[in-house]
Amino acid sequence: MSEKIAIYPGSFDPPTNGHLDILARALNLFDHIIIAVTESEHKKSLFTVEERVKMLHTVTSGMQHVTVDSFKGLLVRYVKEKKASAIIRGLRAISDFEYEFQMALMNRHLGLKETASIETVYLMPSENFTYLSSSLVKEVVRLGGDIDSFVPESIAIELKKKLKYA
Ligand code: ADP
């Protein structure tokens, strides 16, 4: 049987413990996960794609069956290029649902012309991370709050440096 590969796409601006929670769950279901940082031109990010890839490398170092990459353009095209069969997304509160539902159906439509189907798999994080997002973490650092339980130490250091709170 061939290896089951899934793509975990996202902004990861920056990666949080919520992202890592979803990654750990995905690793229980698939043989290999490719974390793919999206190079979106219209979504303003704090960290560059290279910085986000580097941070993800640091927080996943020592983990087996995980690679970090970045991509531009259509996700379904990237998924096919990597010979993956699934897209991993995290589902937090109900507020994620509408957008995610739209995206999953659009990706299914776009993926229809492909030989094998691509499924989007939604995973729920531990309830501690249900209300956690990269934007919230950035906001808390800007306001001088403590983010130690929400991001790995290396990310907290990078964030404080970037936002000049070091
Ligand atoms: P995007 O801009 O693609 O939504 P994010 O980095 O914000 O990029 O999120 C990437 C994926 O990780 C999304 O599916 C999002 O729902 C999920 N995610 C982000 N934070 C959490 C969290 N705290 N718990 C569970 N899933 C999360």
CB of 10 shorter than 6 A to ligand 1 = yes
The verdict on residue 62 lying in a domain is yes
Is 134 catalytic? The answer is yes
Task: Please indicate whether residue 32 is annotated as part of the active site.
Answer: no
Name the catalytic one among 19, 52, 89, 138: 19
List pLDDT tens digits, range 39-68.
Answer: 987 778 999 999 999 999 999 999 999 999
- Asked if residue 44 is part of any domain, the answer here is yes
Whose CA is closest to atom 12 on ligand 1? 90
Within a domain: residue 65? Answer: yes
Residue 66 resides in a domain: yes
Domain count, the chain: 1
- 162, 47 contact by CB (below 8 A): yes
CA of 150 to the centre of ligand 1 (A): 13
Q: Is the CB of 45 under 6 A from ligand 1?
A: no
Write out the chain's pLDDT in tens, 166 residues. 689 999 999 999 999 999 999 999 999 999 999 999 999 877 789 999 999 999 999 999 999 999 999 999 999 999 999 999 999 999 998 878 899 999 999 988 887 666 568 899 999 999 999 999 999 999 999 999 999 999 999 999 999 999 987 6
Name the amino acid, one letter, at 50: E
Whether 40 maps to a domain, the answer reads yes
138 Cβ closer than 6 Å to some ligand 1 atom: no
Q: Residue 145: inside a domain, yes or no?
A: no
- Give ∠ CA 66-54-118 in degrees, rounded to 5: 40
Has residue 166 been placed in a domain? Answer: no
- Residue ranges making up the domain that contains 34: 5-130
The radius of gyration computed from the CA coordinates of the chain, to the nearest angstrom, equals 16
- Only one residue has tokens 């729920």, namely 124
- Any residues with CB less than 8 A from the CB of 110 and at least 6 apart, and which? 74, 76
Q: Is residue 152 part of a domain?
A: no
Spacing, Cα 2 to ligand 1 middle (Å): 28
Whichever domain contains 118, its CATH number is: 3.40.50.620
